[in-house]
């Protein structure tokens, strides 16, 4: 399941993201710092604002869902998402909306920015040949998010007909 954790401090006069899990970067290209202390409404489709506002004003204490579209940082496309969350009281007067945001659509579309073409990205592999880090620029070139690549080996992405040749070259 493709998802990330999101915590919002919300009342009628104030809404700020106070926490978002790091893996949002692999889905949408945002770092935690780019989201924290910003309004969640800055990152969702404008036509979803009313729906989200009604959902947040509901002040529900049990898990409820809301479908929204979240904007990617690298282009103007949106991913269909479902918020699954509820309000929790932390202090006597402070309530936070805590949710899991489930991404419902992840495509394999390659996005190339012609103004600033990206032709390289950074990866780190462990001693077993598994990817332990891949930066977010890889999605534009490969069509896979870093979340889908981390933990797998290079050989997982080689066509089966080419695998013998690659294994021999790797052993040299």
Question: Which residue, 47, 68, 103, sits at the end of a domain?
Answer: 103
Per-residue pLDDT reduced to its tens digit, 13-47: 678 999 999 988 888 889 999 999 999 999 999 99
CATH number of the domain that residue 155 is part of: 3.30.450.20
Rounded to whole angstroms, the Cα distance separating 139 from 145 reads 5
Answer whether 86's CB lies under 8 Å from 60's CB: yes
Per-residue pLDDT reduced to its tens digit, 148-165: 888 888 778 777 888 888
Asked if 131 and 94 sit in the same domain, the reply is no
The verdict on residue 111 lying in a domain is no
Beta strands 131-134 and 123-125: pairing type?
Answer: antiparallel
How many domains does the chain contain in total? 2
Rounded to whole angstroms, the Cα distance separating 116 from 141 reads 13
Reported as a pLDDT band with limits 50, 70 and 90, residue 108 is very low
Per-residue pLDDT reduced to its tens digit, 119-138: 777 888 887 778 888 877 77
Rounded to whole angstroms, the Cα distance separating 89 from 91 reads 6
Rounded to whole angstroms, the Cα distance separating 24 from 43 reads 12
Strands (E), the chain: 3-11, 14-20, 64-71, 78-89, 95-103, 123-125, 131-134
Q: What is the pLDDT of residue 46?
A: 93
The verdict on residue 81 lying in a domain is yes
Per-residue pLDDT reduced to its tens digit, 66-106: 999 999 887 778 888 999 999 888 877 788 899 999 988 65
Asked if 32 and 79 sit in the same domain, the reply is yes
Answer whether 141's CB lies under 8 Å from 121's CB: yes
Asked if 135 and 91 sit in the same domain, the reply is no
Q: What is the pLDDT of residue 89?
A: 84
Q: What is the pLDDT of residue 136?
A: 72
Among the residues of the chain, which ranges form H helices? 24-28, 32-35, 49-57, 138-142, 146-149, 163-171
The verdict on residue 48 lying in a domain is yes
Q: Which domain holds residue 156?
A: 123-171
Question: Which residue, 71, 103, 135, sits at the end of a domain?
Answer: 103
């Amino acid at each position: 399941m493709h998802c990330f954790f999101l915590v919002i401090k919300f009342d009628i006069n104030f809404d700020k993201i106070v926490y978002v899990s790091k893996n949002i970067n692999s889905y949408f290209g945002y770092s935690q710092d780019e989201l924290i202390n910003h309004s969640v409404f800055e990152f969702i489709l404008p036509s979803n604002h009313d729906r989200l506002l009604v959902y947040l004003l509901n002040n529900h204490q049990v898990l409820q869902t809301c479908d929204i579209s979240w904007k990617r940082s690298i282009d103007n496309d949106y991913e269909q998402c479902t918020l699954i969350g509820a309000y929790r009281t932390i202090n006597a007067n402070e309530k936070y909306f805590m949710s899991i945001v489930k991404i419902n659509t992840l495509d394999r579309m390659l996005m190339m920015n012609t103004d600033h073409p990206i032709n390289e990205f950074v990866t780190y592999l462990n001693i077993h040949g598994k990817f332990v880090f891949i930066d977010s620029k890889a999605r534009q070139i490969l069509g896979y998010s870093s979340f889908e690549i981390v933990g797998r080996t290079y050989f997982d992405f080689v066509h089966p007909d080419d695998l013998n040749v690659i294994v021999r070259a790797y052993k040299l």
